[in-house]
A and B are shown apart, each in its own frame.
Chain A
Amino acid sequence: MNSTTTTGVAVRDPAALPRLLLTLLALALLWPGLHFSELNIGVLFDRDSTRAMATLLADFFPFAHDVEFLALLWKSTLETLAIAVAGMTLALLLAAPASLLATRALSLSALPRDGRPSPLSQSLRWPARAVLIVLRSVPEIVWALLFVRAVGLGASAGVLAIAVTYAGMLGKVYAEIFESVDAQPARALLAGGSSRLAAFFYGVLPSAAGELVSYTVYRWECAVRASVVMGFVGAGGLGQQMDLSLRMFAGDEVASMLLVFLLLVLLADQLSRFLRRVFV
């Protein structure tokens, strides 16, 4: 740096030009994005919206805590937890057979082929895999909305939505876990003539159980969060109450519910950590 200043050349960044060009390119790419997203930050600061927000935020304190509201809050919190548990149970029931259908780990045709199933038998696994992909790729809240239209407002829509989405996720990951554990015991059993289910229970499950439990518990934790969010489309639980309170501009109720939501997420996190430590 000294040499450049002593020779009188201005100190400047040699990489400035390419950086400038890259920035300009990025801006040019983002320009239509600005148009499509109709971005207008100013709207947050105009008088009407600041007043609306200010009243809502001013209402945040003190938190709503009258007995009637707390009873409602308690009930919807329990409902949220129950939705997560019931949804996960149904998801497990769907995912267990689906993962057995989708996994390569129990392939008979793979035995003489060094662990790679024949293309024909692999193609038979594809339908199960495709169903799992569709189940988990449609966002859970879309499922929730669809089920709300199909079975009506309330918790059952939430349970079904979690069951469907999480069956897709669990099924895929279970199948992968089965494939990732040591394949020798299952292959020995299959080669010895045992049935596939027996090979699964005695060859795969013992070494996969820890990972299965850990992933399931983690997903339960996600399901608690999801069941709160799904309430916003009418699928019951804390989210539905939060949506109602927001629409009525009841800031104190929203604040209490956000607080309970945070506590619930923290609790689920701790509980899932505990369960994973005990089981794994």
Chain B
Amino acid sequence: MSAGMRTGMRTRALNLLLIFALLGAVIASFQFLALNLTDLFSGDAGASMLAYAREFLRPDFSTTHLQACLRGAAETLAMSAIGTLLAALLGLLLALPAAGRFGALGKIGARFVLNALRAIPELVWAALMVLAAGLGPNAGALALAFHTAGVLGRLFAEALENTPATPAEAVHLAGGGRVTAFCYGTLPGVWPQLVAYALYRWENNIRMASVLGFVGAGGLGQMLYISLSLFQQAQAATIILVMLLIVLAVDAFSARVRLRWGR
């Protein structure tokens, strides 16, 4: 038996082992959850689920509800935009030390803060902010700001580290102060990248903002949560449609922007 054949057989055995492990994991998962799909979808349970689903087929298109939806959509968009803007400011503020501009200690500290901000999911931030700042879109905007600041701060720091230092040095040598050197030497080079990152996160945040309301942070999510709790399926269906439209519009718009200006 040649060496090639032996390794071939070994990878084959390993693959088989992995496939069995995966199958085992799947079976174990279904058993752990005691999930019985035939029970879930057959008989009375299935019929009641179907009846529930059918109530969503008649969305409420009355003017008052549409106006409320429009307001909810505006809240959602505003939440995402303001949240992302705050995040970009906070992110840039933290990115400067994280890129090592204020010494090694500042770098470690800022990186730790950025990691912590980023590690906590938006929804957890939103639940925390609702506790701290009360119900409403303010909590959502702040939650998005904190999480996104962690994401953007890290991306900004990397952009700052990768940008050539020579223009800033030139400004510095010509007599400009540190702030001037940063504004006219470093910033113009990284600016397009920073804007691209911020816009990309904004896109994500629009989607996120529409569901942050589930923990009470305003926008369409809160409306949906409330109308589902009150068993107003017709109203809920309209809100879901509006969410769907927002997601599709954002997708189409960002695809077009990407095609136009490239990445």
Contacts and interface: CB of A to CB of B under 8 A. Distances in A.
Partners in one complex: yes
Interface of A: 1, 13, 30, 32-41, 43-44, 49, 52-53, 56, 78-79, 81-83, 85-86, 89-90, 133-134, 137-139, 141-142, 145-146, 149-151, 155-156, 159-160, 225, 228-229, 232-233, 239, 242-243, 246, 249, 258, 261-262, 275, 278-279
Nearest to A239: B123
Give the most central of B29, B35, B53, B128: most A CB within 10 Å: B29
Contacts of B142: 41, 44
Contacts of A261: 121
A56 B130 CA distance: 13
B14 A141 contact: no
B35 A86 contact: yes
Contacts of A39: 82, 138, 141
Give the most central of A36, A49, A141, A149: most B CB within 10 Å: A36
Nearest to A143: B240
30 contacts: A32-B78, A33-B77, A36-B71, A36-B137, A37-B138, A38-B136, A39-B138, A43-B132, A43-B134, A49-B131, A56-B131, A82-B28, A82-B29, A82-B30, A86-B30, A89-B29, A90-B37, A139-B207, A139-B247, A141-B211, A141-B214, A142-B224, A155-B35, A156-B35, A159-B35, A232-B127, A243-B215, A246-B124, A246-B127, A246-B131
Interface in B243-257: 243-244, 247-248, 251
Given A145-B224, A232-B123, A43 B138 contact: yes
Interface string B211-245: 10011001000001100100000000000100110
Contact of B137 (A38, A133, A146, A279): A38
B85 interface: yes
Contacts of A137: 244, 247-248, 251
Nearest to A147: B49
Contacts of A13: 184
Contacts of B52: 149-150
Given A150-B53, A262-B119, 8 more contacts: A37-B82, A43-B134, A49-B131, A139-B210, A145-B228, A155-B35, A232-B123, A258-B119
Majority-rule SS of A interface residues: helix
B259 interface: no
Given A44-B133, A150-B53, A243 B127 contact: yes
Chain B: interface residue count, which band? 35 or more
Give the most central of A81, A142, A145: most B CB within 10 Å: A142
A41 B142 CA distance: 8
A243 B214 CA distance: 12
A89 B71 CA distance: 39
B138 A33 contact: no
B224 A134 contact: no
Contacts of A1: 174-175
Interface string B160-203: 00000000000000110000000010000000000000000000
Contacts of B120: 258
Contact of A134 (B82, B137, B174, B244): B244
Nearest to A36: B78
A44 B130 CA distance: 10
Given A86-B30, A159-B35, A52 B214 contact: no
